[in-house]
Amino acid sequence: MKLSGFGLLVQDMATIIRFYRDVLGFEIAEDENTKNVYLEKDGTLFLLFGRQDFEQLTNSSFDYVQGVNGHFEIALDVDNYAEVDRVWDEILAKGARPVMPPTTCPWGQRTCYVADPEGNLVEIGSFNKE
């Protein structure tokens, strides 16, 4: 098996589209009133499913955590340490919710975390000092 993508089950599609498109720079062409978004980001399929639509499709109901959650993270790489800091400032200015400011970790990565509007963690990091 090969990982080809991942999906988020979304409560408020318009808000999530605006965050990933306008704050993080994902190229999302769908209208904000769409039910599902299928896009490719750097070779990985990224799916946004409306929760109600997904539950109807699977004939199931699910529990959803509220607030910032630690179930998984979406990891985005940038070129170097300085870019981590620059992107952090940029996305906070656009409304991202801070979780952890840029930090250089013992394993050599400079990384930071924000949360999307539904509490999913987004990491921005680099292993390159320059």
Q: What is the mean pLDDT of the chain?
A: 94
Q: Which of 9, 119, 129 is nearest to 60 (CA)?
A: 9
Distance separating alpha carbons of residues 125 and 109, to the nearest angstrom: 7
pTM comes to 0.91
**CATH code of the region 73-126:** 3.10.180.10
Q: Which of 102, 100, 106 is nearest to 121 (CA)?
A: 100
pLDDT digits (tens, 9 = 90+) for 60-84: 999 998 899 988 899 999 999 999 9
**CATH code of the region 5-58:** 3.10.180.10
Distance separating alpha carbons of residues 8 and 71, to the nearest angstrom: 11
**In one letter, which amino acid is 14?**
A
Give the rounded distance of the alpha carbon of 83 from its chain centre.
18
Same fold, 5-58 and 73-126: yes
Contact 79, 129 (CB under 8 A): no
pLDDT tier for residue 33 given thresholds of 50, 70 and 90: confident
Residue spans of alpha helices (H) in 1-130: 13-18, 51-58, 81-93
